[in-house]
Chains A and B, each alone.
Chain A
Amino acid sequence: QVQLVQSGAVVKKPGASVKLSCKASGYAFTHHYMHWVRQAPGQGLEWMGIINPSGGSTFYAQTLQDRVTMTRDTSTTSVYLELTSLKSEDTAVYFCARASSRGWPNDPFDVWGQGTMLVVSS
């Protein structure tokens, strides 16, 4: 079945960097754009950016574009989110989510990973 499995919870200190992973299975990895969305404790959903697993092109939310990098590895059907210069405000659950249609970025998110908890604390 189609699924996205994310890496486990992580604790980092302020100023550090983190790289989260999301492994896709059950479908053609390069056919669907992938997004990253985060959710701070008790808060709403914040879209972070999108990556095209086929060519690797990316587009980031303006508020994060200086600190975020999304990459992909087609050999392992995985996408990665790297966030640098971590702050306490980055404490959140991070989700990867698939765009529903083949080859089209502007579509709803039909499959979600289980989420990865990132805690940034000294």
Chain B
Amino acid sequence: EIVLTQSPGTLSLSPGERATLSCRASQNVTGDSLAWYQQNPGQAPRLLMYGASKRATGVPDRFSGGGSGTDFTLTINRLEPADFVVYYCQQYGSSSFTFGPGTRVDIK
């Protein structure tokens, strides 16, 4: 099973700043099958990015993803108040669809 590690656990930033979230896999993620989800408190996760760098429908271009193999990043430019929530990475290239532990983006 592929284990995903996210860092940092919590990121404290101010509105307008840039957030860079990291996701590292214990082994190569097949076909860069890496997704990012955003989760608001009490709600289901929302798909943000897939294929490491493709934005899901309706996701603003302030969000971008990159990386390949075992190292991936999610970048959020010009943070807005609604962005201060939790983000999870997920690999979907193997038979077990594992999630990372999450990164919380807090208002400094």
Contacts and interface: CB of A to CB of B under 8 A. Distances in A.
A110 B100 CA distance: 18
Contacts of B99: 37, 44-47
Contact of B33 (A95, A97, A106, A109): A106
Contact of A35 (B35, B97, B102): B97
Contacts, number: 57
B93 interface: yes
B72 interface: no
A47 B98 contact: yes
Interface in A45-78: 45-47, 50, 59, 61-62
Interface stretch (B10-18, B20-28, B42-50, B74-82): B42-50
B45 A45 contact: yes
B63 interface: no
Given A112-B45, A113-B44, A45 B35 contact: no
B47 A114 contact: no
Counting chain A CB atoms within 10 Å of each CB, the highest count among B35, B37, B45, B101 belongs to B45
A97 B47 CA distance: 11
Contacts of B53: none
Contacts of B95: 59
B61 interface: no
A50 B97 contact: yes
Contacts of B100: 44
B47 A110 contact: yes
Given A50-B97, A100-B50, A44 B88 contact: yes
12 contacts: A45-B88, A45-B102, A59-B95, A62-B96, A100-B47, A106-B33, A106-B93, A108-B92, A112-B44, A112-B45, A114-B44, A115-B44
Interface of B: 1, 30, 33, 35, 37, 44-47, 50, 56, 88, 90, 92-102
Given A35-B97, A47-B98, 9 more contacts: A45-B37, A45-B90, A45-B102, A95-B44, A95-B45, A97-B45, A106-B33, A108-B50, A109-B47
Interface of A: 35, 37, 44-47, 50, 59, 61-62, 95, 97, 100, 106-110, 112-115
